[in-house]
Amino acid sequence: MVSEVITASSFATPADGVEHFFGTRLSSVSVTPGRAAAPVALHRERGASVILSVKQIHGTDALIVDQPVEQGDTFEGGWDALVTDQPGVMVTVRTADCVPVLLYDPERRVVAAIHAGWRGAVAGIVPKTVALMVSRFGATADRLQMAIGPSAGPCCYEVDEPVLARLREVFPEWQSVVKPVSSQKAHLDLRAFVRRQALVDGLAPERVATVDACTICQPERFYSYRRDGVVKATMVSGIALVPHRSV
C-alpha cells in the first residue's frame, strides 16, 4: 500500500513542536502558488492554520515570513526557499524529481522548506538558506536539523556534460556523487550532493536525515518529469511550527 505522505521521525515529530511531511502522488494536500490557503483537515488538527506555496523559478532566493499570515494573503514574485518563525504557517515546496529539503532549528524555533533542483543545488540554495537562517533568525548550523526527501535517485538520474561541468566548478569532490555511464554522461546522486553541502556548511551528520526513495523508478508512489516527459502533477512537501497550546 502506498503511503499518502512520508515523514522522518529522526528529523522531527509533533512532540518536538514541528509538523512535516514529504508528499507522494496520493497526498491530499493541494496548494496554489503565491497564495496562503486553508490547510486540509489533517494539518488543521495538528496545528497548521495556513499553507503557503510560492512560484518556484529554480533560483536561490528565499522568502522570509516573519509576520503572521492569513488565508488569502498573496505573494508576488518567485522563490525556491521559504523560511519562517511563525507558528501555524506551513511552508511548502512542490517537486517532481527535484529534491525537497526541510530545515529546523529547535532552539530558535525557525523552519525552512527548499526546492533544490540541480540548478539550485549547484548555485548553492541550501547553503544560502542555512546562512539566512543564521543571520536573520540566530540559528546555528551545528544545531540545525535537516530532512532530505524523495527525488530523482542515483539509480536513474542521468545528467550530461553541461551539468557535470557546473558541478565540477563548485564541488571539488564531485566524483563522489556521480557514477559515469559514458564519456559524457553520468548518474547524479543529487540527494548526496545536497547532504555533502550541508555537512561542509557545518551541519552535524547525525542531524541530517535522508529519505532514500527515487521518484523516477517508483511510478506508483511519485510523479516524475524525467520519467513521463511532462509535468503531470507535483508532490507537495512542507513543514510548520506547531503553536504552543495553553494548558
- Band the pLDDT of 30: cuts 50, 70, 90: confident
Q: What's the average model confidence in pLDDT over 152-164?
A: 97
- 227 pLDDT above the threshold of 80: yes
Categorize the per-residue pLDDT at 1 as very low, low, confident or very high, splitting at 50, 70 and 90: very low
- pLDDT class of 3 with cuts at 50, 70, 90: low
Whether this prediction's pTM lies above 0.75 is answered by yes
Q: Which residue has the cell 496520493?
A: 26
* Ranges 107-121, 140-154, 189-203, 224-238: which has the least confidence: 224-238
pLDDT for position 13? 87
Contacts of residue 224, defined as CB under 8 A and 6 or more positions apart, other chains included, come to: 96, 97, 152, 215, 216
pLDDT above 50 for 218: yes
Nearest by Cα to 92 from 194, 244, 235: 235
pLDDT for 31-60, tens place per residue?
989 999 988 655 554 567 899 999 999 999
Within a 10 A sphere around the Cβ of 69, how many other Cβ atoms?
A: 19
Residue ranges of domains in the chain, CATH in brackets:
5-151+190-241 (3.60.140.10)
What separation in angstroms does the CA of 7 have from each of 10, 135, 211, 221? 9, 28, 9, 14
What is the chain's mean pLDDT, rounded? 93
